[in-house]
Structure 1
Amino acid sequence: MIITSLLDTDLYKFTMMQVVLHHFPGAQVEYRFKCRNENIDLTPYVDEIRAEIAALCRLRFQEAELEYLRSLRFIKSDFVDFLELFHLNEKYISVTPSPTHQGEIDISVKGPWLHTIMFEVPVLAIVNEVYFRATQRAPDYEEGRTRLREKIALIADDPALGGCNIADYGTRRRFSRSWHAEVILAMKDTMGTHFAGTSNVMFAMQHDLTPLGTMAHEYLQACQALGPRLRDSQTFAFEMWAREYRGDLGITLSDVYGMDAFLRDYDMFFCKLFDGARHDSGDPFEWGERLIQHYRDNRVDPAGKVLVFSDGLDFDKVAALYMRFKDRARVAFGVGTNLTNDLGYTPLQVVMKMVRCNGQPVAKLSDTPSKNMCDDEAYLAYLRQVFEIKG
């Protein structure tokens, strides 16, 4: 059994789910899976993936897990009471070989947002682990450990990187749960204050680490259907988040409509209200420069704001970004695949994205076009027009 706890997921699933419970409990959504690698045949593993998902759907939150969630300052008591009754339901998810694309599989999740939001991360972790235990029956863990030691030394042994802190964001694309645990323990044991924590709530609880995360793309995408009008959906999402958390969890996501549209909406009010923003597509150096200048233009000192980098990072890029911005803003880094799936094998680039909410298409138009996932060209064109996005 690959997933053994409903806490084995990213913190932002809980923080978004709490917003859904309190503000959008009736929202209906659809998610779709995509493997971006070419020439990867996942169809032999459909039955095994289904069996693992069935096991996932039998899990319930344990009392100790609920008490841990209750101890987090931003988690509210009624949400934990709801989680005590919660489980994932198989009727909302299907896994089949693709009828149109040979070698691909279709994973579709449809149902109430409140009852489906927790599928994404464990399902992606299941797909990864099923695939790699079938294709790499004798994993080269020594190679993985050597690579991990070199990464840790790159940061920990350089005095110029004394304030550089890295978090684990690698649950969804990890090689395996056991390898993920080994990586986290190695970082905790050898990186000291350079290790900021993990997005994985289960490992945060087990190893006394800081759980990290705020919002994901799906939250802002859903607000395209849930807000008063499309053009105001980004500001609506930020305002609803602030209404729920009252200044806590103050890192916004900047790339659902691209940086230009984000900065148009991220006015002086939001610059002062939120703690910072997270980069997840496009050139990170350009993004950082633009955000720092934007803070200055809005009479906000960027030195007090957080720039979170999380897009396809390796440790060399982390070091370069830290040196560029360390004296002008607070910087933080979330490293995913390069931490938890770097044993010498090509990682799977798997995603599961929300594609509809309340019956209408939703999408993101990020600064990396290959990350976009919507098959309704008319809606994409309308979205570009509304948010003044070129291309």
Structure 2
Amino acid sequence: MIIESLLDTDLYKFTMMQCVLHQFPGAEVKYRFKCRTPGVDLRPYVSEINEEIDHLCELHFSDQELAYLASLRYIRRDFVEFLSLFHLKRKYIRVSPSNDYPCGIDISIKGPWLHTILFEIPVLAIVSETYFRHRVPADGFELGRRRLAEKCRMILEEPDNDNLVISDFGARRRFSRAWQEEVIEYCIEHLGRHFSGTSDVLFAREFGVVPLGTMAHEYLQACQALGPRLRDSQTFGFDMWAKEYRGDLGIALSDVYGLKPFLKDFDMYFCKLFDGARHDSGDPFRWGEAMIRHYAANKCDPKSKTLIFSDGLDIPRVLALYRRFNHRIRLGFGIGTNLMNDVGPKPLNIVIKMIEANGQPVAKISDTPEKGMCEDPTYLAYLRQVFGLDEPDTAAAEPKA
């Protein structure tokens, strides 16, 4: 089967889940699957996907897996005890053929946030691997291996590369679990200190590297419904995160409402409280310049802060960003699809996003419009108005590289 461990997911699912347990234990949510790649028909694979999800819902955490999670300094004992009783419940997820979506299938997840949050990454990995195992021979990794070797060579031969580190953020759209394992092993062997770790907790444990991640879009989206006032939902989310982790896991996600509202909300208090920020949509050069100016304007030395870039990166883009920002601010690069699904065929651009929390619509408004997601256009228009997104964006203007 594709998923054989509940650790085979991104770290930020656990960090958010712990926050949900302590701060929002009664929240109810709904997620929807979306395939952004045109011309893809997933209907032939519905039965296989359902079989894989049946197996996923039979998995439990082993004592060894729980001990590993407990060894992470920010994971609390009561959360580990909760996980010792946890399994994903089949009644909360439905996969069926549908003509309502271009890809031909509907995947919807609905139930308590605490009991549905771990579906996203393994379900996306299941869809991706199921699709590609019908299109590429099992031993079809030769092109991927040549490309991987070239990527590592480019990193190692980059001048002044002392601060250049990449990490794996690719579990959700990987070609296969076997390929992800091979890529991580190769990067550890050939890149050494230039490979900082992986977001996949299973492989972090297996290879003894650092598991990476803090928060994802769903966390700040849910705060639209769970917070006291819509306009304050982003600051509410950051406050609750700080309450949960007390200065640990301090990388803030910057693109749930776009750069302009983020800079407005990420004031001097949050600039000093959080270690840095993560970019996941819009022009990364413009974003990086805006963040450096913003830190300086809020009495923070940019060289003491970290920018994590994670939006559709490949190695040439990583190197261009590194050359622009090295020695000006600390840097990290999370590479997803280009690292874990670059073996020949075009990867699937698939996501599962939260669309509802406590019966209210929620939305992501992206600086990359096609990455936004909301099923209620009236709510989306209201949200844009509340965050002033119909106004000209002059706060962070910066020429493109």
Query: How high is the TM-score relative to the length of structure 1?
Result: 0.99
Question: What does the per-residue CA deviation read over 1:89-110, in whole Å, with 9 as the maximum and x for residues that have no partner?
Answer: 0000000011324642100000
Does the 8 A contact of 1:156 with 1:162 survive in 2? no
Q: Is the 8 A contact 1:161 1:319 kept in 2?
A: no
Residue deviations 1:172-194, cap 9 Å, x none?
A: 00000000000000000110100
SS at match of 1:334: strand
Shift of 1:169: 0.2
Larger displacement relative to structure 2 (279-288 or 364-373) = 364-373
Alpha-carbon offset, residue 156 of structure 1: 1.3
Corresponding residue of 1:76:
76
Cα distance between partner residues in 2 of 1:357 and 1:317: 36
Distance 1:200 1:138 in 2: 22
Q: Are residue 64 (structure 1) and residue 64 (structure 2) matched?
A: yes
Q: Which residue of 1 aligns with 2:166?
A: 166
Matched-pair contact (CA < 8 Å) for 2:38–2:102: no
Residues in 2 aligned to 1:103 and 1:22: alpha-carbon distance in whole angstroms:
37
Q: What are the within-5 Å matches in structure 2 for residues 60-139 of structure 1?
A: 60-101=60-101, 103-139=103-139
Structure 2 vs 1, CA of residues 38 and 383 (structure 1 numbering), >3 Å: closer, same or farther? same
The letter of the residue matching 1:78 is D
1:162-311 paired onto structure 2 within 5 Å: 162-311=162-311
Taking the aligned partners of 1:74 and 1:102, their CA distance within structure 2 comes to: 41
Give, in whole Å, the separation in 2 of the partners of 1:155 and 1:43: 40
Amino acid at match of 2:275: D
Contact 1:296–1:302 (CA<8 Å) still a contact in 2? yes
Amino acid at match of 1:114: L
What SS is found at the alignment partner of 2:130? Answer: helix
Are 1:382 and 2:382 an aligned pair? yes
Percent identity for Structure 1 against Structure 2? 64
Calculate the aligned-residue CA RMSD, in Å.
0.9
- What's the counterpart of residue 18 of structure 1? 18
The answer to whether the Cα contact below 8 Å between 1:166 and 1:334 also exists between their aligned partners in 2 is yes
How much has 1:161 moved relative to structure 2?
1.9
Q: Which runs of 5+ in 1 are unaligned?
A: none
Q: Distance in 1 between matches of 2:102 and 2:166?
A: 39
Instruction: Answer yes or no: is the 8 Å Cα contact 1:198–1:209 preserved in 2.
Output: yes
Does the 8 Å CA contact 2:32/2:108 hold for their aligned counterparts? yes
| One-letter code aligned to 1:271 | C
Deviations 1:220-254 (A, max 9, x none): 00000000010000000000000000000000000
Q: Is the Cα contact below 8 Å between 2:163 and 2:331 reproduced in 1?
A: no
- Give SS of 1:159's match: coil
Instruction: Find the aligned partners of 1:286 and 1:373 in 2 and give their Cα distance.
Output: 23
* Number of residue equivalences: 391
Residue 149 of structure 2 aligns to a residue whose secondary structure is: helix
In structure 2, what is the Cα distance between the partners aligned to 1:320 and 1:346?
Answer: 24
Query: Does the 8 A contact of 1:32 with 1:352 survive in 2?
Result: yes
> 1 CA distance for matches of 2:262 and 2:85?
37
User: How big is the shift at 1:373?
Assistant: 1.1
Please name the residue that 2:398 is paired with.
none
Letter in 2 for 1:308: I
CA distance in 2, matches of 1:374, 1:74: 32
Tell me which stretches of 4 or more aligned residues in structure 1 moved more than 6 Å.
Answer: none
Compute the displacement of 1:135 (Å).
Answer: 1.5
CA distance in 2, matches of 1:103, 1:16: 29
Residue 141 of structure 1 corresponds to which residue in structure 2? 141
**How far apart are the structure 2 equivalents of 1:363 and 1:338?**
27
Q: What do residues 123-168 of structure 1 show as CA deviations (whole Å, max 9, x unaligned)?
A: 0000000000011135531110000000001001223222200000
State the distance in 1 between where 2:372 and 2:102 align.
Answer: 22
Amino acid at match of 2:238: F
Task: State the SS of the aligned residue for 2:196.
Answer: strand
Distance in 1 separating the partners of 2:256 and 2:35: 20
Q: Deviations over 1:42-75 (max 9, x none)?
A: 0000000000000000000000000000000000
